Amino acid sequence: MEAVEALALVSGNVEEELLTRNEYLALENRILKSKLKKPVSFTHSERIQLAKIGKRMGIKVLKENS
């Protein structure tokens, strides 16, 4: 197996693991939110942290997750 093939294989496995983790966390968040009586409120600091990550993700991805 060439180095490029090995790297592609490892990258694919890592990407699949990250996608699976993301799917799990998204589902967990939906379940937890559904159990709350009122919407979750964030502190100013928490909103800033979320905004920084959201900016890196982009508006298209954020709309998919809402």
What 3 state SS string does the chain have?
CCHHHHHHHHHHHHHHHHHHHHHHHHHHHHHHHHCCCCCCCCCHHHHHHHHHHHHHHCHHHHHHCC
Q: pLDDT-derived band of residue 10, with 50, 70 and 90 as boundaries?
A: low
Pairwise CA distance, residues 44 & 35, whole Å? 24
Q: What is the pLDDT of residue 18?
A: 84
15 CB-near residues (< 8 Å, 6+ apart): none
Give 16-64 pLDDT, tens digit per residue. 888 889 899 989 999 999 999 999 999 999 999 999 999 998 888 777 7
